[in-house]
C-alpha cells in the first residue's frame, strides 16, 4: 500500500497550484482551504500535506491561521512545510496543530539547527524536504539552486537521523506529465530503510499504482485532483481496497 497524501498549497490564504514552482503561474482552486481539507477527509484520506508558499518565499511562516483552521476542523494528520526557519517557527507550527514539519531550505542553510530539532522532537516529527532540479537540491521556494547533489544530501541526513523524506522533482511538478519514476526507483534502491514520499507530476490513478509497485511509501497529489484527472471515486475505491 502507498499512502495517498493530498496537497493544499497556500498563497494569500487560498488553495492554489503552481507549475514547476513558478509563482507567476498560479491558479486559485479555492478561497477556503479548510473546506477542501474536509472534502479530502470525507474521502477517507488520513494525512494532508499543507504548504505555505508565501512562507517558503518569504523565509518565515505566514499562513499559520490556515493551519489552525484545518487542524481544528478536521482530524487529518497534517505535515506542514514552507517558511519553517527557526525554533519559534517550528513550535508555532506544532502548537497550531501540525503533527509533522518539513525541513527543506533550513536543512541546507542551517543543518545544525535541524539536527537539534531531530534530537528534541524526534525523527517522526521532522521530514526532510528534498526538492530537486536536474539532480541538484533547490531551496527558498525553489527560487535558489544549490550545488548539493540529491543522493549525497539524503545520505548525509540519514546519518543524522532522518527517517522520512518528501522528494519533489521540480521539472514535473504541476505539469500533469507523470512523476519521475526512475528517480524514485533509484532513491528506493539506494535507501531501502528510508520512508520516501514522492511529490510532483502525478496525472492520475495509474501513476499512483506505478509508484506503489516501485515500493514508495507515500505519494503527494494536488493538481491531478483539482483538474479532475484523479477523481474522488478513484481515491475512495483505492482507500477501500487496502
What is the model's pLDDT at position 66? 98
Looking at 9, 79, 169, 173, which residue is catalytic? 9
Clarify whether 9 is annotated catalytic: yes
Among the options 52, 79, 89, 131, which is catalytic?
Answer: 131
pLDDT given for residue 229 in this prediction? 96
pLDDT tier at 142, thresholds 50, 70, 90 = low
- Over the stretch 180-192, which tens digit does the pLDDT of each residue have? 999 999 999 999 9
User: For strand 22-30 and strand 14-19, is the pairing parallel, antiparallel, or unpaired?
Assistant: antiparallel
131 is catalytic: yes
pTM over 0.85: yes
In this predicted model, what pLDDT tens digit does every residue of 16-60 receive, in sequence order? 998 877 888 899 999 999 999 999 999 999 999 999 999 988 889
* Model confidence at 141: pLDDT above 70: no
Ordered by where they begin, the domains of the chain are 3-241 (3.20.20.70)
Q: Which long-range contacts (CB under 8 A, 24 or more apart) does 193-197 make?
A: 193/158, 193/163, 194/154, 194/158, 194/162, 194/163, 194/164, 194/165, 195/163, 195/164, 195/165, 196/164, 196/165, 196/167, 197/3, 197/5, 197/127, 197/164, 197/165, 197/166, 197/167
Which pLDDT does position 19 carry in this prediction?
A: 81
pLDDT at 56: 86
Q: How many CA atoms lie within 13 A of 207 on its CB side?
A: 26
What are the pLDDT digits (tens) for 109-140?
Answer: 999 999 999 999 999 999 999 999 999 999 87
* pLDDT score for 34: 97
Q: Is 140 left (phi over 0), alpha (psi -120 to 50) or beta?
A: left
C-alpha–C-alpha distance, residues 216 and 239, integer Å: 16
Once rounded to an integer, what is the mean pLDDT over residues 1-19?
Answer: 95
Alpha-carbon gap, residue 106 to 130, rounded angstroms: 11
Share of the chain above pLDDT 70, in %: 99
Amino acid at each position: 500500500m502507498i499512502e495517498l497524501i493530498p496537497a493544499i498549497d497556500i498563497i494569500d490564504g487560498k488553495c492554489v497550484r503552481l507549475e514547476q514552482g513558478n509563482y507567476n503561474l498560479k491558479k486559485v482552486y479555492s478561497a477556503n482551504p479548510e473546506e477542501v481539507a474536509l472534502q479530502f477527509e470525507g474521502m477517507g484520506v488520513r494525512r494532508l500535506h499543507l504548504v505555505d508558499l508565501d512562507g517558503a518565499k518569504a523565509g518565515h511562516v505566514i499562513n499559520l491561521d490556515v493551519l489552525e483552521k484545518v487542524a481544528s476542523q478536521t482530524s487529518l494528520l497534517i505535515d506542514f512545510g514552507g517558511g519553517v526557519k527557526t525554533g519559534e517557527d517550528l513550535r508555532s507550527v506544532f502548537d497550531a496543530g501540525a503533527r509533522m514539519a518539513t525541513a527543506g531550505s533550513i536543512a541546507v542553510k542551517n543543518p545544525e539547527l535541524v539536527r537539534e530539532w531531530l534530537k528534541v522532537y524526534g525523527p517522526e516529527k521532522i521530514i526532510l524536504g528534498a526538492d530537486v532540479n536536474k539532480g541538484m537540491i533547490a531551496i527558498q521556494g525553489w527560487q535558489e539552486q544549490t550545488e548539493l547533489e540529491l543522493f549525497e544530501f539524503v545520505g548525509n541526513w540519514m546519518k543524522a537521523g532522518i527517517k522520512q523524506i518528501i522528494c519533489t522533482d521540480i521539472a514535473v511538478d504541476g505539469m500533469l506529465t507523470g512523476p519521475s519514476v526512475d528517480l524514485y526507483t533509484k532513491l528506493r534502491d539506494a535507501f531501502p530503510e528510508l520512508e520516501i514520499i514522492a511529490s510532483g507530476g502525478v496525472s492520475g490513478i495509474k501513476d499512483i499504482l506505478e509508484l506503489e509497485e516501485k515500493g514508495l511509501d507515500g505519494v503527494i497529489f494536488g493538481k491531478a485532483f483539482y483538474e479532475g484527472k484523479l477523481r474522488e471515486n478513484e481515491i475512495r475505491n483505492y482507500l477501500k481496497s487496502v
